[in-house]
């Protein structure tokens, strides 16, 4: 079975053939650390974590790099706002360290591993960036203008090949700032001259700091080599960031990335996320209301390349959808223990244990086919629900017998195995009240119902629900409880 990836560079789906048959080299644009990480950051980190997990599952050793931009105008502006009057250089370091720690903490709470991932910081690569810029000047691809250095876009013969735009079209949407002294509106800064009291480094062109685009070309080539397999990022980075990366890397004589993966953007209630609109959702905000698996399921049910719109109403739907799986996992355990009386139903055609096992094997193949097809997580998740659907029917069917149990456990392990590839853990939160208190509340509720005091009974249900306990009444009047996702 071959893996297919949609390559943004060629604008078609291609068979994935890594440079090294046993290893995949992958570079992803990471965060600019100047604020609390939000759910847009979560989508980007999670999408490429799933790709990394699946490639590892398919037997590849994955060398994964995600950079950190800790030298940037936004960081400097935040440092001025958060630490007014302090030394700006020290304040910039405080801001970048603070928000990188927040990013790491958020990823950990989301269950997105940092193990085995290279995470170079721009500030650690300044000398190598200076050397790279010097090479571009030497090759006639860049020029010095005052204390700045610009890449000469006219020397990049294929500029625009990633964004599929002509130079004329790109120039029409570009403006030159008053302080910029460049030959062409599309020329971009490789080195910026130092401003008073801002972080700066020594270079042959005077004190300054690197432009944004240069860091990714330098880091990727230094860690992964001049040619590597996959470069990932958001669709908003195609132009100018990724276009400029290609231009400067190829201008330096490097082949650069073979496959380009770009994910769609996230909106909130149909609008771009912005604090001014009151729709800015940090990862911390989200996790205060829902477990990480709910957000992951939300992301999984839209293909990574497509835009996705976040609403709190949809999160409730995803929580319920996730609970369908967790309820099934719990019911298999109860069947095995014989601790639950199951309401009998009758399938039109009984499914034997052998037939069920064959179906599960087919579903396993379907899951892999979906993931091989450009990491098609919507189809992969649909397969998991197909397994749940057919197994639920067998669980409650009158034809159920002990021969079904090993197959149901096989189905359960399949779901856990494939959910693990997708980074879903089904982790349960600890109870906020004791089981004894839950039983006492259920007993009180039953007494209220017998007295036809339904308002009081309903109040108990709601109080338990607020504490993460869901009550379920069977047709025979028996009440059971479960923890809410």
Instruction: State how far the Cα of 427 lies from the Cα of 419, in Å rounded to an integer.
Output: 12
Domain that holds residue 189: 4-288
Report if residue 111 sits inside a domain.
Answer: yes
What confidence category does residue 173 fall into, taking pLDDT thresholds of 50, 70 and 90?
Answer: low
- Could you report the per-residue pLDDT of 121-132, keeping only the tens digit for each? 999 999 999 999
Q: Are residues 171 and 30 in the same domain?
A: yes
What confidence category does residue 452 fall into, taking pLDDT thresholds of 50, 70 and 90?
Answer: confident
What confidence category does residue 175 fall into, taking pLDDT thresholds of 50, 70 and 90?
Answer: low
Transcribe 348-406 into DSSP letters.
SS---HHHHHHHHHHHHHHHHHHHHBTS-HHHHHHHHHHHHHHHHHHHHBTT--TTHHH
Q: Which of 81-90, 117-126, 277-286, 469-478 has the lowest mean pLDDT?
A: 469-478
The reported pTM is 0.91
- Could you report the per-residue pLDDT of 301-344, keeping only the tens digit for each? 999 999 999 999 999 999 999 999 999 998 888 887 776 656 66
* Predicted pLDDT of residue 179: 58
Report if residue 116 sits inside a domain.
Answer: yes
What confidence category does residue 485 fall into, taking pLDDT thresholds of 50, 70 and 90?
Answer: confident
The one-character DSSP state at 343 is P
User: Using DSSP, how many helices (H) and how many strands (E) does the chain show?
Assistant: 15, 16
- Could you report the per-residue pLDDT of 374-427, keeping only the tens digit for each? 999 999 999 999 999 999 989 888 888 889 999 999 999 999 999 999 999 987
Q: Are residues 238 and 321 in the same domain?
A: no
Going through 245-351 in order, the beta strands assigned E by DSSP cover 256-263, 266-268, 271-272, 308-310
* Predicted pLDDT of residue 174: 61
* Predicted pLDDT of residue 319: 94
What confidence category does residue 51 fall into, taking pLDDT thresholds of 50, 70 and 90?
Answer: very high
Q: Are residues 96 and 139 in the same domain?
A: yes
The DSSP bridge partners found for residue 231 are: 27, 260
The answer to whether 245 touches 221, Cβ cutoff 8 Å, is: no
Q: Are residues 159 and 221 in the same domain?
A: yes
Q: Are residues 401 and 452 in the same domain?
A: no
Q: Are residues 254 and 124 in the same domain?
A: yes
Residue 49 vs residues 35, 304, 359, 370: alpha-carbon distances, Å = 22, 12, 29, 17
- Could you report the per-residue pLDDT of 193-206, keeping only the tens digit for each? 998 889 999 999 99
- Could you report the per-residue pLDDT of 52-98, keeping only the tens digit for each? 999 999 999 999 999 999 999 999 999 999 999 899 999 999 999 99
Q: Are residues 210 and 261 in the same domain?
A: yes
Q: What average pLDDT does the structure give for the chain?
A: 92
Q: Are residues 210 and 271 in the same domain?
A: yes
239-249 exposure pattern, b = at least 16 Cβ within 10 A, e = fewer: bbbbbbbbbbb
CA torsion, points 158, 160, 163, 169, in degrees to nearest 10? -150
* Predicted pLDDT of residue 377: 98
* Predicted pLDDT of residue 54: 98
* Predicted pLDDT of residue 359: 97
What confidence category does residue 214 fall into, taking pLDDT thresholds of 50, 70 and 90?
Answer: very high
Instruction: State how far the Cα of 374 lies from the Cα of 233, in Å rounded to an integer.
Output: 15
What confidence category does residue 30 fall into, taking pLDDT thresholds of 50, 70 and 90?
Answer: very high
Q: Are residues 228 and 375 in the same domain?
A: no
CATH code where residue 78 lies: 3.40.50.620
Residue 5 vs residues 12, 18, 70, 380: alpha-carbon distances, Å = 8, 11, 31, 15
* Predicted pLDDT of residue 343: 61
Number of domains in the chain: 3
68 closest CA partner among 17, 21, 115, 29: 29
* Predicted pLDDT of residue 276: 73
103 closest CA partner among 233, 284, 267, 235: 284
* Predicted pLDDT of residue 56: 97
Q: Are residues 238 and 358 in the same domain?
A: no
Does the structure show a pLDDT above 70 at 234? Answer: yes
* Predicted pLDDT of residue 481: 79
- The H or E element containing residue 6 is strand 4-7
The answer to whether 454 touches 80, Cβ cutoff 8 Å, is: no
9 closest CA partner among 307, 371, 255, 224: 255
* Predicted pLDDT of residue 348: 67
* Predicted pLDDT of residue 438: 86
Residue 2 vs residues 16, 370, 373: alpha-carbon distances, Å = 7, 11, 9
* Predicted pLDDT of residue 414: 97
Report if residue 298 sits inside a domain.
Answer: no
The answer to whether 199 touches 89, Cβ cutoff 8 Å, is: yes
395 closest CA partner among 409, 381, 380: 409
CA 287 to chain centre: 15
* Predicted pLDDT of residue 133: 98
Residue for token pair 């000469």: 152
């Amino acid at each position: 079975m071959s893996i297919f990836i949609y390559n943004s560079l060629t604008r078609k789906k291609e068979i994935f053939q890594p440079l090294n048959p046993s290893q995949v080299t992958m570079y992803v644009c990471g965060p600019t650390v100047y604020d609390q990480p939000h759910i847009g950051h979560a989508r980007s980190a999670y999408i490429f974590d799933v790709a990394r997990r699946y490639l590892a599952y398919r037997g590849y050793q994955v060398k994964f790099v995600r950079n950190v931009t800790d030298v940037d105008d936004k960081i400097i502006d935040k440092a001025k706002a958060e630490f007014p009057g302090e030394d700006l250089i020290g304040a910039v370091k405080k801001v970048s360290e603070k928000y990188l720690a927040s990013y790491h903490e958020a990823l950990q709470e989301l269950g997105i591993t940092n193990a085995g991932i290279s995470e170079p910081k721009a500030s650690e690569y300044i000398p190598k960036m200076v050397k790279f810029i010097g090479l571009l000047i030497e090759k006639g691809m860049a020029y010095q203008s005052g204390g700045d250095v610009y890449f000469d876009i006219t020397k990049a013969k294929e500029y625009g090949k990633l964004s599929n735009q002509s130079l004329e079209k790109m120039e029409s949407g570009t403006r030159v700032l008053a302080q910029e002294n460049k030959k062409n509106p599309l020329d971009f800064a490789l080195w910026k001259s130092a401003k008073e009291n801002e972080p700066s480094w020594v270079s042959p062109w005077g004190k300054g700091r690197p432009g944004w685009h240069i860091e990714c070309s330098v880091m990727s080539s230094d860690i992964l080599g001049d040619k590597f397999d996959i470069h990932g990022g958001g669709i908003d980075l195609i132009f100018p960031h990724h276009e400029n990366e290609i231009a400067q890397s190829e201008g330096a004589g490097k082949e650069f990335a073979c496959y380009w993966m770009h994910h769609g953007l996230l909106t909130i209630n149909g609008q771009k996320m912005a604090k001014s609109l009151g729709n800015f959702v940090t990862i911390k905000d989200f996790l205060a209301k829902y477990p990480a698996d709910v957000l992951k399921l939300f992301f999984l049910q839209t293909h990574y390349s497509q835009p996705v719109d976040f609403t709190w109403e949809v999160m409730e739907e995803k929580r319920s959808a996730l609970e369908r799986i967790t309820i099934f996992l719990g019911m298999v355990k109860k069947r095995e223990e014989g601790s639950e009386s199951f309401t009998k139903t009758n399938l039109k055609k009984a499914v034997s244990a052998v037939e069920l096992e064959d179906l599960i094997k087919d579903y396993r193949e379907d899951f892999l086919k979906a993931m091989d097809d450009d990491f098609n997580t919507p189809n992969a998740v649909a397969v998991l629900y197909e397994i749940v659907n057919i197994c639920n029917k067998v669980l409650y069917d009158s034809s159920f017998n002990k021969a079904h149990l090993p197959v149901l456990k096989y189905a359960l392990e399949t779901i856990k195995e494939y959910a693990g590839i997708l980074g879903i853990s089904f982790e349960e939160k600890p109870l906020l009240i004791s089981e004894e208190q839950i039983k006492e509340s259920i007993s009180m509720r039953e007494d209220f119902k017998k007295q036809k005091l339904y308002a009081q009974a309903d109040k108990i249900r709601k109080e338990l629900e607020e504490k993460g306990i869901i009550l379920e009444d069977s047709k025979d009047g028996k009440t059971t409880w479960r923890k809410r996702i």
